[in-house]
Structure 1
């Protein structure tokens, strides 16, 4: 069976460096076998993806931004000292999409993170999810995604 690190290499995925918190919180908290990953912002080529879906960010750019958030979630797991092979299940993703009131494709944007989890973790990456439109996100980000990850018992 292929390791997750080998799977990332096979897919050509290089994880970004885990972002430091921008406020007073922990990026990852493990409790009762679950890793709670704080909301991650989308950095593409080192730049924060800013703007609003339905205004100045396209659906494709939003999808890519959500995928970037997913990459950062995986990077945060690794940075917390959790072996990626200890991911027993991606339980839930919460996707927050900075969007105009008439934009209704939040689920299509959130698919960027969701599809990445399946790509990397296979069936263990299938998860519950919420995809919510919001009027603003920290630092003007286009998307923010948080996660709950079940960990294998040591």
Structure 2
């Protein structure tokens, strides 16, 4: 088991198979030593995590949805690295979209679910630049979607 996967196991996380694209795009693109991972929607073993922050979902549930996106991002990264996720040098940037009402302003607290997970799982490699923005709606009614840029060796 890789060093990163051992740390994930300590956190109770096993990376799933990388989710297949839901439309006409590729799950990731590598250019040089950067891997750009397409937006990963909030989903877990039970299915899609749906909801709208500020209406029918609270910040803690939104942060859990963001954490699920982070797990999918790492699954895609592992696929991009040919199965060797220890090629990760660092998380460069995350861009998080939060399905939220017009008056909801805590998008950063929701996306912290992904950011906190990356740091817990990866240490300093997990520290990253970030954007956290509101969206009037997201595909399939999911609560969160996050895309990422990763540097690999």
TM-score (norm 1): 0.94
Pairing 1:75-94 to 2, within 5 Å after superposition: 75-80=75-80, 81-94=82-95
Q: Which residue of 2 aligns with 1:31?
A: 31
Residue 17 of structure 1 deviates from its aligned partner by 2.4
Name the CA distance, whole Å, in 2 between partners of 1:116 and 1:105: 18
Runs (4+) of structure 1 moved beyond 4 Å? none
Residue 50 of structure 1 deviates from its aligned partner by 1.1
Classify the secondary structure of the residue corresponding to 2:65: helix
Q: Which runs of 5+ in 2 are unaligned?
A: none
Deviates more, 1:136-145 or 1:80-89: 80-89
User: 2:90, 2:125 within 8 Å by CA — same for their partners in 1?
Assistant: yes
Name the CA distance, whole Å, in 1 between partners of 2:13 and 2:27: 21
Q: Which residue of 1 aligns with 2:128?
A: 127
Q: Which residue of 1 aligns with 2:116?
A: 115
Residue 9 of structure 1 deviates from its aligned partner by 1.8
Pairing 1:9-88 to 2, within 5 Å after superposition: 9-80=9-80, 81-88=82-89
Name the CA distance, whole Å, in 2 between partners of 1:151 and 1:114: 18
Q: Which residue of 1 aligns with 2:139?
A: 138
Q: Which residue of 2 aligns with 1:98?
A: 99
Classify the secondary structure of the residue corresponding to 1:78: helix
Number of matched pairs:
151
Any idea what the Cα deviations from partners look like across 1:34-80, whole Å, max 9, x if unmatched?
00000001113331011210001111110000000000000111123
Residue 82 of structure 1 deviates from its aligned partner by 4.7
> What RMSD over aligned residues (CA atoms) do the two structures have, in Å?
1.2
Classify the secondary structure of the residue corresponding to 2:89: strand
Name the CA distance, whole Å, in 2 between partners of 1:36 and 1:82: 16
Name the CA distance, whole Å, in 2 between partners of 1:127 and 1:7: 19
Deviates more, 1:14-23 or 1:33-42: 14-23
